[in-house]
Structure 1
Amino acid sequence: MKLIIQILSIFIIILLYSCAKQSTPMGGDKDETPPKLLSIKPINESTNIEPSTIELEFDEYIKIDNPNKQIIVTPRINKDEMVVTAIKNKVVIKLNQELEEKTTYVFNFQKSIQDITESNPAENLKLVFSTGDEIDSLKFSGKVSYTFPPKEKFIKDVLIGLYEKNDTTDVLTASPYYIAAADSAGNFEITNIKVGEYRAYAWFDSNNSLKAEEKSEPYAFYGDTLAINQDVSGINFMLSKADISDLKINRSSTVGQNFDIVLSKYPTDIKIDQEDLGKKLYFRQNEKNIRFYHTDIKNDSIQAILSLKDSVGFKLDTLIYLTFEESDRNKEKLETTANSGTNFLKNIEAEFSFNKPIVDINLDSLYVKYDSASTIQIQREWIYLKDSTNHTKISIDIPLIDTLTNTTFTIYASDSTFKDVEGLYNDKKIEATYKKLNPETLVTSLDVTVETEFRPLLIQLLDKSGKVIKEVLKENTNKHSFVDFEAGTYNLRVIFDENKNKRWDPSNMRQNRQAEKVFYYKNPADTTSMDITIKAGWVNDIIVITEDKITEEIIKPDETEQIIPDGEENELN
């Protein structure tokens, strides 16, 4: 009897728990109806209030999804103090902080409030109230795009913020005063702004910090201060990465027989002024590390002038003392890579990269094989350094006679072919294969016209993986023809190369300098596609339209003065 009573008691407890537990009902049609708001406290657009708690009531049981990220509050409040809970069909928000006087607050709930059955979010849910007599109504709107479009076509986790003019913080140091999220197409709107002067930014916020991480997250800034006393529209932000941290030497020390300098960031340009450079003194760069080698000096030091430049244009010029010591430490093994798999039309253009500077090559064991028994001995004059100071990369241009009918050629280097600065050789054979293209299968010409007056233009042809196949700098014309390349699908990119350094340069917010503009060709038949499908034997003509003449005006308080945006939507039609 006792056993039966115990079993019944356990059953009743389980039944009561199941009834009390808030859960998704089983069976029935799928719930596709979002929660409907029944009431909200305080009432929307209330004035002269300073609530400590916000309550929302819905027509069904709801849940909260990541409120700290999803609920956007402007002007900014301390969201760490805010407590959000969902109880049955109600959401309760305890602010736990004082609000500013005579200020309009906006709570944009986005998709944070969902039903518990199918996670349908409440739609267009926003609360506006003011601690003063009036509701601020000014708007700031525009569009956000990426300078280099990511694989993901839709905009995600991109925020736009306004900082008060006198605020000492910015997008890299703190969250903004006003904030909004861009939609999947990149459009944004910040509402209920009070009259004032602001600085504007946009950024990709992957870690939900409400600010940009300068070394990892792309961002953009508007170059001028915006004086807002009317609606401002037509602002365009182009997101790109720009590390504006200081370029400096973090540490330097001897490592074995060599000398290392470790920098704070990757240098794009390195210049070394020392009389032994390329003769007895050599160096290699590995990301932020520069290692120096000397073939003669031991237990002594020499002076050298080091000139560095980073991607945003910061420079570092310094006198350094390079110290070289005797050491029993094991020397780093010589490693080699080659551009094997590269196709060619007339001459083989081979590139070999090494983890240490090369000082000698044994030509007797370096040759080209093109069938089981035929070889071509590589000559000294075919080998050269693209950068005379960098001995870690060599190029080999190999001319082939027209009578050769073979299509596959292999550069062969036996072990002990390459000697590095520390006296070590490659300990394994190296083979790199190159394929000769058939002229009949190549594209005759891709004729490009860029509709702009800007010069110079860096025009780049990219394969589907984003690799630059061909590029050219045009200083005096806006036309170019790419010839003799394989048929396929490509993208075309145009960079306004302001400093003529044949590469894209990012922005520098410290110097109020925008990033160099980048434009992609877009397929006229499908503006969502940048693909150019090119057939063999064809002459292809494309026209690249750059929007370097802004026609859209931005409203500014003084009607006699208009702001023209520094940024623009870089789309090619």
Structure 2
Amino acid sequence: MRKIIFLFIFSIIVTSCARVGSPVGGPKDTIPPRVVGSNIDTSRVNVPRNIKELRIDFDEYITLKDINKNLIISPSLKRMKKILPSGMANKYLLIKWDDTLQANTTYNFNFGNSIVDNNEGNPLQYYTFAFSTGDKIDNLYISGDVKNMIAQKQSGTAEKNFVVGLYQEKDSMNYRQKPYYITKADPDGYFELNYLSPGNYRILAFDDANGNSVYDAGKESVGFKKEKIELDKSISGMEIYLYPSKKAVKYTEMKEVPGGVLMTFEGNPESVKVQSLNAKLQDYKVTQTPKSDSVTIWFDARKQDLGITQSENLKFSYDNGIKKDSVSLFYRYNTKNEMTVSNSRGNLLPPNQDFAIKSNYYIDRIQTEKWTLVSDSIQQEFTARISEKNPYEIFIKANFKEGKKYSLTVPKETVSSFYESIAKSYRFDFEGDKTENYGTLNLTLENPPTHKFWLQLLNEGNDVAYSRYGKETKFIFSSIKPGKYQIRILVDNNENGIWDTADFANNEFAEDVYLMDKKIDIRPLWEIREVWDLAPKKEAPKETLPNVPTPIETKKP
């Protein structure tokens, strides 16, 4: 019996000693792990070039959180082998690689917030470890802020992944490789590039959407400085602004759509010339909004017997100004693809606005003399027109009254595309909304852009809710839905009708952008008056910082 009791107590003691986890009771641990040593000498200079690992010891058990996202090594090591701990907690961190280190080079391992204690998950914030294969550790740095000027629509808790990098200025530089020096900005956009050696560099920042530490043109926002950086002393307070990047013009795909075939491109080609290479398809129309990414080829599939009983291999040639080529698809006519019209903007019509309906087909002709607009059983006078900017939309103008109900009847065959008309009649019921449900913005610009521009009101989802184009300096938006809005100006510097994005390869900035530094709160029946001075703000003279060594282990100030 004594033997059994002894074995039971012994097993409990062994289990308790082996467990790595949170202690029971006592005050909560809020202290992050502390470094107690490493396999590299404390001076961290003259480190052998053939060393193949870095081991850092801690005073408690640690785990690594999102280490692949957080760890930044500058200059980069291409052949990584192992990073520990992986899964199980440990009292040391181990990184192994196969590369031979460069001579007289300072290496910086930036762990971000990935090192946490195993008990409470307290991070060792912004921890870095640096060493040199030469007789000194380079001590220059660049710090500053990254700001995204054209914020993308947020989906859930979308994480910023801003990366800042330096390329060594050379006769030929491959920007499809990782930067020579690289770091991540924190959630506020602040960044530090530490342990830099003197030299000439190109700097860029980008939103590293896929986490590969390489700038992907056309897919990721980018910011850069046009001039090279002659780094002979440290730089503080650098500001880098991110803009959408220019996509190369290229064909992407072709697919069947209601009324014909849709051909899509990247890079917003100026215009695309399309020609049918099929003997059966001779009667067709091609539409493209200038500098848009899509071209639609319209035709009457039934009349020309295309894809009715079986798939038809349709071939087309195209010339997008950059490339000439031919493409094809197997086309099958979809009997459900009839031409339709629908209410474009809801059943409550804001004051002083036109009612709008839209179609799934390009609208070529309307017969408004057969339409009727009725309120209180009385026919109302109206006019209708196809939108000049969007030929898929029709605007109906009348003396609409607040609180009045209206009914618009659009008989069949009175809205037509090139080869199709609506096959049934439509009725749209709507009501003139009341002024008391909307607010007004009265905006005056001082020192406005010299070129035409878009003045935009962005809602809280970063969608453009209201927009005007021109060179006016006074704007009155009289029927704005209540809410908070960001005011933005996109300048059409070359006045080509589109806002041009950044082109890093050709060292071309995006066209100018202005963001008001506060949001406008629109309330029902309120008139908000704002004056926005677009003149550059004068900055106070900055004190020149002494060229002092950067601490080995840096943290965000």
State if a TM-score over 0.5 links the two structures. Answer: yes
Question: Deviation digits for residues 410-464 of structure 1, max 9, x if unmatched?
Answer: 43435665444444634574526353443x7765661322345643443223444
Going from structure 1 to structure 2, the CA distance change for 1:176 and 1:432 (only over 3 Å counts) comes to farther
Give the superposition deviation at 1:196: 1.9
Matched, 1:519 2:525: no
Tell me the CA shift for residue 131 of structure 1.
Answer: 0.4
Contact 2:83 2:93 in 1 (8 A): no
**Aligned equivalents of 2:387, 2:523: Cα separation in 1:** 34
Match in the other structure for 2:161: 157
Residue identity opposite 1:59 in structure 2 = D
2:60 aligned residue = 60
2:104 pairs, out of 102, 105, 109, with 102
Distance 1:270 1:227, change over 3 A: same
Aligned to 2:361: 356
Per-residue CA distance 1:219-241 (angstroms, 9 max, x = gap): 22222222222223443221222
CA distance in 1: counterparts of 2:102 and 2:333, whole angstroms: 67
The code of the aligned residue for 1:75 comes to P
CA separation in 2, counterparts of 1:65 and 1:187?
A: 21
- Say yes or no: does 1:384 pair with 2:386: yes
Q: Within 2, Cα distance between the matches of 1:451 and 1:510?
A: 32
Q: Which runs of 5+ in 2 are unaligned?
A: 276-282, 307-314, 545-557
What do the CA deviations read for 1:121-166 (whole angstroms, capped 9, x no partner)? Answer: 1245322211012211121222100112455999832110011223
Matches within 5 A, 1:138-537: 138-149=140-151, 156-166=160-170, 170-171=174-175, 173-245=176-248, 247-249=249-251, 260=261, 262-265=263-266, 267=268, 270=271, 281-283=284-286, 290-294=295-299, 298=304, 315-316=321-322, 330=335, 332-337=337-342, 338-341=344-347, 343-346=349-352, 348-359=353-364, 361=366, 363=368, 366-371=371-376, 373-376=377-380, 382-386=384-388, 391=391, 393-400=392-399, 406-413=403-410, 418-423=415-420, 425-427=422-424, 429-431=426-428, 433-438=430-435, 446-451=442-447, 454-475=450-471, 479-486=473-480, 488=482, 489-523=484-518, 530-533=519-522, 536=525
Is the contact made by 1:242 and 1:508 (CA closer than 8 Å) also made in structure 2? yes
Aligned-partner SS, 1:89:
strand
Q: Deviations over 1:269-314 (max 9, x none)?
A: 546699xxxxx743466995533124599499xx999775xxxxxx
Residues 453/382 of structure 1: CA separation in 2 closer, same or farther (3 Å cut):
closer
Amino acid at match of 1:103: T
Deviation string, structure 1 residues 515-557 (Cα, Å, up to 9, x no partner): 122222123xxxxxx23446636461322345388887999xx
Shift in CA distance, 45/520, structure 1 to aligned 2, threshold 3 Å: farther
More moved, 135-144 vs 121-130: 121-130
Identity value in percent: 20
- Quote how far apart the aligned CAs of 1:399 are: 2.1
Contact 2:442 2:530 (8 Å CA) reproduced:
yes
Q: Contact 1:359–1:420 at 8 Å: present in 2 too?
A: yes
Amino acid of the residue matched to residue 165 of structure 2?
A: G
Structure 2 Cα separation of the partners of residues 321 and 71 of structure 1: 44
**Residues 1:502 and 1:435: Cα distance change in structure 2 (over 3 Å):** farther
- Cα separation, 2, equivalents of 1:258 and 1:538: 46
1:127 aligned partner: 129
Q: Partners of 1:268 and 1:96 in 2: how far apart? A: 45
Distance 1:240 1:409 in 2: 44
1:117 deviation in Å? 0.7
What does residue range 43-82 of structure 1 map to in structure 2 within 5 Å? 43-50=41-48, 51-78=51-78, 80-82=80-82
Alpha-carbon contact 2:274-2:286 (below 8 Å) kept: no
CA 328–512 in structure 1, closer or farther in 2 if over 3 Å, else same = closer
DSSP-derived class of the 1:24 partner? coil
Instruction: State whether residues 452 and 548 of structure 1, in contact with CA within 8 Å, keep that contact through their aligned partners in structure 2.
Output: no
Aligned to 1:93, the other structure's residue is in SS state strand
Amino acid at match of 1:65: K
Q: CA deviation at 1:256?
A: 10
The DSSP-based 3-state class of the residue aligned with 2:68 is helix
Task: For residue 214 of structure 1, give the secondary structure of its aligned residue in structure 2.
Answer: coil
- Cα distance in 2 between the residues matched to 1:85 and 1:284: 59
Any residues of structure 2 matched to 1:88-99 within 5 Å, and which?
88-99=90-101
Q: Cα distance 1:61–1:333, how it changes in 2: closer, same or farther (>3 A)?
A: same
**1:116 is aligned to 2:118:** yes
TM-score normalised over the length of structure 1:
0.76
Checking the alignment, whether the CA contact within 8 Å between 2:258 and 2:337 is kept in structure 1 is no
Does the 8 Å contact 2:142/2:194 carry over to 1? yes
Paired with 1:240 and 1:60, the residues of 2 have a C-alpha distance of 44
Contact 1:415–1:430 (Cα < 8 Å) also in 2: no
Offset from partner CA, 1:46-70 (integer Å, 9 cap, x none): 2111233322222221112232322
Structure 1 pair 376–452 and aligned structure 2 pair: CA distance change class (3 A): closer
Aligned with 2:530 (options 541, 553, 557):
541
Q: What is the CA–CA distance in structure 2 between the aligned matches of 1:250 and 1:469, rounded to whole Å?
A: 30
What's the C-alpha RMSD, in Å, of the aligned pairs?
A: 4.4
Displacement of 1:209: 0.9
Shift of 1:174: 2.2
Contact 2:260 2:299 in 1 (8 A): no
**Could you say if the C-alpha distance between residues 428 and 36 of structure 1 is closer, same or farther in structure 2, counting changes exceeding 3 Å?**
farther
Cα distance in structure 2, aligned partners of 1:14 and 1:84? 30
Kept after mapping to 2: 8 A contact 1:53/1:93 = yes
1:510–1:256 Cα change, 3 Å: closer
| TM-score, length basis structure 2 | 0.78
Letter in 2 for 1:394: E
| Partners of 1:259 and 1:293 within 8 A in 2 | yes
Amino acid at match of 1:176: P
SS at match of 1:69: helix
Check conservation: 1:408, 1:436, Cα contact below 8 A.
Answer: no
> What CA deviation, in whole Å up to 9, does each residue of 1:322-380 have, x standing for no partner?
9999x87646232434223463434x523333222345546576333434x344376xx
Q: 1:248 to 1:149 in 2, by over 3 A?
A: closer
Q: Deviations over 1:447-506 (max 9, x none)?
A: 32234564344322344444444434454x6x3131423473432212232022454321
1:69-123 alpha-carbon deviations (Å, 9 max, x no partner): 2222111112633433376322222233211111011112221211111110124
Tell me what 1:571 maps to. Answer: none
Q: Structure 1's 89 and 322: CA in aligned 2 closer, same or farther, altered over 3 A?
A: closer
Q: Secondary structure at the match of 1:220?
A: strand
Q: Secondary structure at the match of 1:509?
A: coil
